[in-house]
Amino acid sequence: MRIILLTLFLISGGALASWDRYSTLFPDFPCSDGWAGCEVDGEDVDLGTVRDAKGRYHPSNERIDFFDFTPLPSFSPYVELTIYPEEYADEVDNEAEADSEASYASARAESVAAKNTNSKQKGSSQSAVSSNRYESKTVSAPVPEPSNPVEEPVEEPVEEPIEEPVEEPIEEPIEEPVAIASGVVEDSGCENLLALEGAVMMGQLNPAQVRCLEQRIGSAEPLVDRRKASVVLIKNAQAKGSQAEWERYVRRHLNSLDKSDPNLCLSYSIHLFRKGVDFSQESIRWAEIALENKNSFKAGSDYQKRLNQLYKLRAVSAQRLWLRAEEQKSDANIEKYKGMTKNFSREWLDFARASKQSIKEPLSICVSAADKSFCEG
């Protein structure tokens, strides 16, 4: 019997000691606004646990599902403070006041009843004493103090930030890389391009290797080898993070060596688009060249996404040119670029519908440049 009791005691003690392991499952303040309870997208978050899409439990302050990396209710730390209705404060005050009045009335009734009972049993003298005693008790009964009026918070008007016009930096002319004539520089180890792969991935080609590759591009080697040397320089500039070098090498490669790579054309078109409206015409040009070679894209979901990017680049770039023409009040350009926006957005819309992608943005641009019947027809 003693052995059984000792075993039960050890088991229960071990179970209690292991509770600390679960303390992190119940955080003190799970809400992003510092409260112990809040509401996120209509879902209550408190000191308990939350469930993911498959019903598995997680701490309420955990942002990402441990198993699938899907967002949980506390995913964003930038949620607004929970807004509680003002009626709650009034209802609580009214209930507290009603409870106080009820308790006061009950104490008063009990006092009167006790006084009458004692007066019958002990006579008038004892009744007076009893009455005084009970009256003193009633005086000490809690009398509800008038609740202070709850001042409604006055919401101060929030001024929307006014974006100051940003002056676009003046683009300095970028010099084209000059291919070095054969024989000017001796071979510095650039014949074997595979041996340069490690340095290229880190963007660490030395100047001698760069000059050697430039020499190969300007030599009489087969075009295939010259293209490969050019791609090595492009990748080295990209890994190094030099946008100016990357742009020079890509421009030379596309204009002089090879424009059949739709991925490079897409990257260059995006680069030009980000430089501003002055480069919109070039961005449209390289997006169209990429579309001409779209069959070179790999099949799959990326194929649909890349084509959608190209259609979007054309439509949005044309819209930029149209809006600038409206600001400049140039009637000829307004008509030209508005027509381009209408046609490009309609092609984008048709592709988005066919590939089952979002049509919200292409439809919006199309309707802004044409009749609704043209876009929905």
Nearest to 138 by CA among 170, 115, 169: 115
Look at residue 171 in the predicted model and tell me its pLDDT: 47
Q: How far apart are CA 363 and CA 346, in angstroms?
A: 8
Q: How far is CA 114 from CA 100, 117, 206, 209, 286, in A?
A: 21, 5, 105, 109, 100
Task: Note the pTM of the prediction, 2 decimals.
Answer: 0.52
Mean pLDDT for 278-285 is: 95
pLDDT value of position 140: 45
Long-range pairs of 270-278 with CB within 8 A, sequence gap ≥ 24? 270/309, 270/313, 271/243, 271/246, 271/247, 273/313, 273/316, 273/317, 275/171, 276/168, 277/320, 277/321, 277/324, 278/168, 278/171
Average pLDDT of the residues of the chain: 74
Q: Could you tell me if 248 and 214 are in contact, meaning their C-beta atoms sit under 8 angstroms apart?
A: no
CA distances from 171 to 136, 176, 271, 278 (A): 91, 15, 14, 10
Arithmetic mean of pLDDT, 199-205:
89
Give pLDDT, residue 288. 95
What is the per-residue pLDDT for 343? 94
Q: Identify residue 339 by its one-letter amino acid code.
A: G
**Which has the higher per-residue pLDDT, 23 or 49?**
49
Number of H helices, E strands in the chain: 12, 4
Asked which of 164-173, 196-205, 273-282 is least confident by mean pLDDT, the reply is 164-173
pLDDT > 90: percent of the chain: 38
The stretch 298-313 carries a mean pLDDT of: 88
The pLDDT value given to residue 59: 79
55 pLDDT band (50/70/90 cuts)? confident
Query: Cα separation of 244 and 85, whole Å?
Result: 56
Q: Reduce the DSSP state of residue 289 to 3 states and report it.
A: helix
